[in-house]
A and B are shown apart, each in its own frame.
Chain A
């Protein structure tokens, strides 16, 4: 099992969710986050004086997957979240040791 964490542009969330749904992914967790990457922040003017927006708003999508779904899910996220412009975000994949469904007590891939 793998945990796929994608940081994407907020306005792409609906498309990503739909694409993952079509693959049969049964659940995702979404968090509003802020951060910076190569895009850095940007400066704005308020009453003629500059201020810097260092951390840009992004959406973090976390999805736990069985090994065979990982490749297609990553492909789906990459395809739908891309705009080709700087700031499209990143995908991180990490090993997932176990999963437990609280209601039934099922563990492992069954619980995903």
Chain B
């Protein structure tokens, strides 16, 4: 093994790990975004869900998820993954196998983070975490095995052969998370007071917009790891060029999405709606995630902008359908995730529209269907919704027994 190869191996592994760490940080972004867009009486609980789901995802993916998704790369409980990627593999990789696990596991957590925002302010904490166990240990790894894992869908067809391509996971991660969220929201119902008996739609303003904005900035930063790391290498001229293009396009799409959403909201509502602008930036990021390496900078900006326009209309439309999503997660990750998949064939000849549609349908039907079954089982056993009184008092007190901002607390003497 020559020295240049060793250097390449070390650099690619290092890059992979750092990108994984950036994606891990997206969990903080989701936590802040969601804590900012709920009412202050539900802050402690949403933070508990966010940090706990991250730990559940990492554990379940270690136990069985990675093995289900990549049967040839890892055994149950990751036995043997500490080996060397350069020797002993069928196809020599240029990074450590355990770095691959680390990079994959933070994506699972991202998919699960999407769910927590949509069901916020009314779902029971423990029912949510029970769902997280199944989602991260089984539902997500199954669809992951059909896509990035290269396996056939129950032996029927193979998505790769049909021209399905999803670079960093607009569909595999984001739309999958949103599909699970949609199933949960439909079984859970809207927050009390969100929709009036007379058909009125009421706003429930978020408590802390600085936190929501910080969360969006963190997600934007983390996304460079999400998309940039998905190049899987950086230690050659070719891969370094690809990484730079991906960073550039990811940033351009986020900017395009934010500007588009800000302007659309201004014309629709008469004033600048910060929360829509934040959703717009995330929509731009989701839209470019399926293919950040082939568009030009202008195309990336326009794709992001398209996501930003779509997300505003989608949020308003879901509200009209009485599908209550406090943070807009289903619109940002689901509707725009689908858009991202369908934009791929415009710049990437290796993918086809039919392949993208079949892939999107496969992911949606599986994740939505399997999630609906799991949510239903949870609903009929432990229950998934807190009582009306608990919801009125805030789930911080009923689920966690502590407020995020305690006032007038006196010590028991």
Total A-B contacts with CB atoms under 8 angstroms apart: 40
Decide if B270 is an interface residue (CB 8 Å cutoff): yes
* Interface residue tally on B, bucketed by range: 10 to 19
Decide if B408 is an interface residue (CB 8 Å cutoff): no
- Report A99 CB to chain B, min CB distance, Å: 32
B interface list, Cβ under 8 A from A: 200-205, 265, 268-271, 273, 275-276, 312, 315-316, 319, 328
- Report A58 CB to chain B, min CB distance, Å: 21
Look across to chain A and name the residue whose beta carbon is closest to the beta carbon of B275.
A47
Which residues of chain B come closer than 8 Å to A46, judged between CB atoms?
203-205, 273, 275
How far apart are the CA atoms of A45 and B274 in the complex, in Å?
11
Which residues of chain A come closer than 8 Å to B319, judged between CB atoms?
47-49
Which residues of chain B come closer than 8 Å to A48, judged between CB atoms?
201, 265, 268-269, 273, 312, 315-316, 319
Which residues of chain A come closer than 8 Å to B271, judged between CB atoms?
45
Main secondary structure of the interface of A (DSSP, over half): strand
Known: A51-B202, A51-B205. A45 touches B315 (CB 8 A): no
- Report B200 CB to chain A, min CB distance, Å: 8
* Interface residue tally on A, bucketed by range: under 10
Most buried by A among B203, B268, B269, B316: B203
How far apart are the CA atoms of A46 and B268 in the complex, in Å?
12
A-B contact pairs, 26 of them (CB 8 A): A44-B203, A45-B269, A45-B270, A45-B271, A46-B203, A46-B275, A47-B203, A47-B275, A47-B276, A47-B319, A47-B328, A48-B201, A48-B265, A48-B268, A48-B269, A48-B312, A48-B315, A48-B316, A48-B319, A49-B202, A49-B203, A49-B319, A50-B202, A51-B203, A51-B204, A51-B205
Which residues of chain B come closer than 8 Å to A51, judged between CB atoms?
202-205
How far apart are the CA atoms of A52 and B95 in the complex, in Å?
57
> Which A24-45 residues have C-beta < 8 A from chain B?
44-45
How far apart are the CA atoms of A50 and B316 in the complex, in Å?
12
Does the CB pair A47–B202 fall under 8 Å? no
